[in-house]
Structure 1
Amino acid sequence: MLEQELYRAVVKEPDPERKLRLVAAQSRLVKTRSGALLEMIRAAASADSEIADLWTGIETKLLEVQRAVVEQLHVSGSLAASLDVTRATDILWTLNHPTVWQLLVPGRGWTGKEYELLPDALDE
């Protein structure tokens, strides 16, 4: 599900803002390619225990990836003082969750680029 080259670029990026922009670009790419499939898995999870296990694994992996990014930000001193690693991970995981893609892109007509720039929308 994750594009390894893009993830390596995220890990190697020292600038916190560019790191988060790479995360957003990666999230957009993954959702553009597999958003509909992820939504089908999520929707079917309540009806089938094997699919539920698959969905749980997908969510767990997504959370682990977001946590790794946040831990890098924490180590570099780039997290806001009001955030700990757990809270920041929850926020980043939520913003990059496939359900948010479904709500905004197919559901509300956002473009993929608008989804990618979602955090910028909060600054406007």
Structure 2
Amino acid sequence: MADVKGGRRSYDGSGRQEKARSTRRAIVAAARELLEQSGFTGTSMAAVARRAGVSAESVYKAFGSKAALVKEVFDVTIAGDDEPVPVADRPEVHRIQQEPDARRKMRLYVQGAAERASRSAGIQLVLRNGAEADPAVARLWAQVQDERLAGMTMFARHLAETGCLAAGVDVEYARDVLWTCTAVEVYDLLVHQRGWALTAYADWLDSILSTSLLDPVAGVGSQRP
């Protein structure tokens, strides 16, 4: 029986909140499909609304601008869901941080990077290709690259602090190698253009990064003095 206080039915907003979240998911999914098909300039908010089965007003109300919608598409695609948890705070990242063996640590990192690339390469290429034609896309692409560089720096610093880096490899060098090898352009060349399987790409990435960055004797519990 519904609760009644003061002669009025108490309001439960959970259903409305879930409906709003479902609508938001539908808009993001529709936007991703259209962006990957038609690019940034070829995708209008009205077209997104039609694909999602909502009004254009609903799209603007939810996101405010086309650039904000595209950024949401990117963030959800990278994370794999729309949960309000930053990638750095997710269980898979904690497993990487807590793994004591350098090579298993790198393998876990590479597996995550390959999975994110397989999900997000399409939308990343949309942003990169649209950056020259539209200032809003250029700003968004620059933001995405800044966030990626910050992530590479954090992982490189973690490798240094846990004694995993080879002699002569500093944080800046490790960051730049990670930044280059995990770039969407490399994924595009090997997987999209050369037809590599995702597992082959991950194996290559693991080999390149481990050989280039890791201390060959780093292992369980190893810490550089």
Aligned position for 2:176:
90
Unaligned runs of 5+ in 2: 1-77, 80-86, 212-225
Which residues of 2 match residues 49-68 of structure 1 at below 5 A? Answer: 49-68=135-154
1:10 Cα shift?
2.0
Aligned position for 1:69:
155
1:114 Cα shift?
0.9
TM-score normalised by length of structure 1? 0.88
Aligned match for 2:196, one of 97, 110, 113: 110
Q: Percent identity?
A: 31
Distance 2:206 2:136 in 1: 38
Identify the structure with the greater helix proportion. 1
Correspondence 1:101 to 2:187: yes
Unaligned runs of 5+ in 1: none
Which residues of 2 match residues 29-44 of structure 1 at below 5 A? Answer: 29-44=115-130
Q: Which has the higher contact order (CA 8 A, sep 6+)?
A: 1
| Aligned residue pair count | 123
1:50 Cα shift?
1.1
* Aligned alpha-carbon RMSD (Å): 1.7
Distance 2:145 2:92 in 1: 19
Offset from partner CA, 1:52-80 (integer Å, 9 cap, x none): 11111111111111211111111122111
Aligned position for 2:3:
none
1:120 Cα shift?
5.1
Distance 2:157 2:135 in 1: 32
Aligned position for 1:16:
102
TM-score normalised by length of structure 2? 0.51
